[in-house]
Amino acid sequence: MPGTQALAHAQVHAQTRTRERRQRLAHEAARLMAEDGIRDFHQAKLKAARRLGILDDASLPRNREIEDALRQYQRLFHADQQPVELQRRREAALRALEFFAPFDPRLVGSVLEGTADGHASVALHLHSDDPEAVPRWLAEHAIPAQSRSRRLRLDRQRDLDAQVWLFAAEDLSFDLTVLPASCARQAPLSGIDERPQRRASASQLRALMVEAEIADYDEATRSLGSDSLPPRK
């Protein structure tokens, strides 16, 4: 029936427009995160929506879509500098994981995920049932730090107001979230996709850095190989 066909066509058109808006918002949010140093996905997507004048909730991209767009943006516009900043932070993260070894530490966030840039902090999860253990450790090593609180979701039913310590070292920012010792076995839920956060111990980070170095070497070898090929006739 003509009316049914018209309705179906309108629905497809509306879905296409919504998908295009989500893509535009995801890329604008990614640009804001890369260029303005915004770290919060929700803040980035709302600011992008205001800038583009797209205010319907259905068009707001998921955090994972923004993260994917951020990777693409970095490859296109920061291909030279971003890997350098990432490597610097991973090396610092490895030293921090070793330094905080008594707290069974884990690396989390953009440094682990590979999206860290010059604005990114090195984020760690530390584990202790003694609320004074981490500040005591910082004081004993003469590390001035600021205290904050952060709400995390331990699982679908439980939230936690976790203690956070912020400090600077090696011209980098460090963000320490202190969790109960039991959380070393079960990561809190990610704010990106509501799944358990990806985390890495010192040994896992070392392995990741070796894998990245091998991948970079292979890519460089392929590039040199293609550059040395004779021109096609």
**CA atoms of 36 and 38, how far apart (whole Å):** 6
What does the pLDDT read at residue 8?
62
User: Pick from 61, 68, 65, 67: which is nearest to 47 by CA?
Assistant: 61
What does the pLDDT read at residue 17?
87
Report all structural domains of the chain as residue ranges with CATH numbers, in order of start: 2-77 (no CATH), 82-219 (3.30.460.10)
Strand order in the sheet with 106-108: 106-108, 122-127, 172-179, 159-169, 146-153
Given a cut of 50, the residues of the chain with pLDDT beneath it are 229, 232-233
What does the pLDDT read at residue 12?
65
**CA atoms of 11 and 7, how far apart (whole Å):** 6
The tens digit of pLDDT for each residue in 180-233 reads: 999 999 999 998 888 999 999 999 999 999 998 898 777 777 766 655 545 544
**CA atoms of 182 and 180, how far apart (whole Å):** 5
pTM: 0.82
What does the pLDDT read at residue 14?
65
What does the pLDDT read at residue 233?
45
What does the pLDDT read at residue 10?
62
Report residue 107 CA to chain centroid gap: 11
What does the pLDDT read at residue 52?
92
Q: Which two tokens stand for residue 129?
A: 């049932």
Contact assessment for residue 59 and residue 25, using Cβ atoms and an 8 Å cutoff: yes
